[in-house]
Chains A and B, each alone.
Chain A
């Protein structure tokens, strides 16, 4: 059995989760401090990939990255293209995973008692240290949950990937695409194996992150009796 879909899926979803994490946490941080007029508009744009059908996201990405699209032209002037390449799978997965990361991180940041941040300010702690040493640790359970959701969403991404990256075996064919095309060509047993593999990865990711989160929160979380 060709194992390439496994490696492609893992590589794609790990990269996409990483990107969505950075972009989502940054966007959440900026948006939780931003009080301008565009707040609701920006929030809507960031959430949009979550509510749109993946095929619509794929279509919009095609327009954006296509030969005549603004980003596509920019990339082709640099001598490269992303459509139907492995990068396309990462871009599609990142875009659909981003809203989950952004929304959960923002919720977690807004849960942090603003008095704690103010207390740190009056104690002379610089803003950047307040973010890394107080906000992030306190928001950590929420951020971890967002990361799990983003990873699961990236791993399961199908529609936008198919539209932007196509189904090229050994290059852009992820596990969900493999399953779809195996079932379509009647190879249900092979498809079932891939289904089991993807269930195993998802479970492992969830328990791994649960374990990691537990390690991050100090033992003092619970009162001593």
Chain B
């Protein structure tokens, strides 16, 4: 079922302009808090009213400002999973699910509840009240409850933000399986880019109420179309550039020249960038894009070390730091050899240009 959204919402000091189509897959809405992600979901569900525009789900027009159509949320068949789950505390797990099944005959209702309970693996817990369930179980109830009335599209508003890390990855996998079995479109809102990448084949990046990038996750993460997208997708290494000749640019903030593969050349680009995980200490076989740096700061985590390094090439006070992540073992090897100076390699195929 295709969901087409083209809406505008005017608020004092904030304007939302969103348009996208989502066809039988999971679309990730990525953006900082306050970028309009949740408001977009609320408009689709009919909980907020856009100022202008059109929302179409399959054959049904949910909202059309020109035709004066604005279906109430009850008639939209849009499932919504809230950030805090919003379970009804006075009803059991089964009661929560049953709330959306009113008007269906009792026997059939019980059958659907049973089916939903087993689908989210809550067998034996249907008589429990939300407070007697763990965070992960509560989320499963919320999911079962949203899916029980057979919505044609499922909207998920930061569904994992209330879970701890361990549960998060477990629930993520379960949700992924459920979304694949759920034959409809779903829109997933998050500010966690890794989560978005893992769950959503297609992404839409929002900033200040506007769509600044959309497309497949590979395109967006490998070749962010603009600076803001690069930042939101977690790229910390960005520099202004001057284009020198074919396939070479001068990175002004790093004081060095960089080769770029022909595939990654972008006309009228203003910035060059590279994700910190792609920068590596230069090995014997690396001859291109080698930058001499001084190590400024070291942050050690259990599985990796994040280095902040300063290119020594055209060093001025304004030279920006580069960040790279390497394994702990590699770091201890480098630290013993040359504690301060470091040669790093920015592989040309990983260096991207952006506007």
A interface residues (Cβ-Cβ under 8 A, vs B): 113, 115-116, 118-127, 129, 133-134, 137-138, 217-218, 220-224
Q: Per DSSP, are chain A's interface residues mostly helix, strand or loop, or mixed?
A: helix
Contact of A118 among B47, B102, B131 (CB under 8 A): B47
Q: Per DSSP, are chain B's interface residues mostly helix, strand or loop, or mixed?
A: loop
B interface residues (Cβ-Cβ under 8 A, vs A): 42, 45-47, 72-80, 82, 84, 86-90, 92, 99-100, 102, 128-129, 131-132, 145-146, 148-149, 151
Query: Could you tell me if B100 and A218 are in contact, using CB atoms closer than 8 angstroms?
Result: no
Q: B45 contacts which chain A residues (CB < 8 A)?
A: 118, 121-122
Q: B146 contacts which chain A residues (CB < 8 A)?
A: 119, 122-123
Contact of B100 among A113, A115, A123, A221 (CB under 8 A): A123
Q: B86 contacts which chain A residues (CB < 8 A)?
A: 113, 115-116, 118-119
Q: B151 contacts which chain A residues (CB < 8 A)?
A: 122
CB distance from A211 to the nearest CB of B (A): 18
- State the CA gap A133–B77 with chains docked (Å): 21
Contact of B80 among A118, A137, A217 (CB under 8 A): A118
Q: A124 contacts which chain B residues (CB < 8 A)?
A: 74-75, 77, 100, 102, 149
Known: A116-B88, A220-B129. A122 touches B47 (CB 8 A): yes
CB distance from B73 to the nearest CB of A (A): 4
CB distance from A140 to the nearest CB of B (A): 8
Query: Could you tell me if B131 and A122 are in contact, using CB atoms closer than 8 angstroms?
Result: no
Query: Could you tell me if B47 and A123 are in contact, using CB atoms closer than 8 angstroms?
Result: no
Q: B88 contacts which chain A residues (CB < 8 A)?
A: 116, 120, 134, 138
- State the CA gap A115–B146 with chains docked (Å): 13
- State the CA gap A51–B84 with chains docked (Å): 39
Nearest chain B residue, comparing its CB with the CB of A129: B102
Q: A217 contacts which chain B residues (CB < 8 A)?
A: 90
10 closest residue pairs by CB, A with B = A220-B129, A123-B100, A115-B86, A121-B73, A122-B80, A119-B86, A116-B86, A224-B132, A137-B90, A124-B74
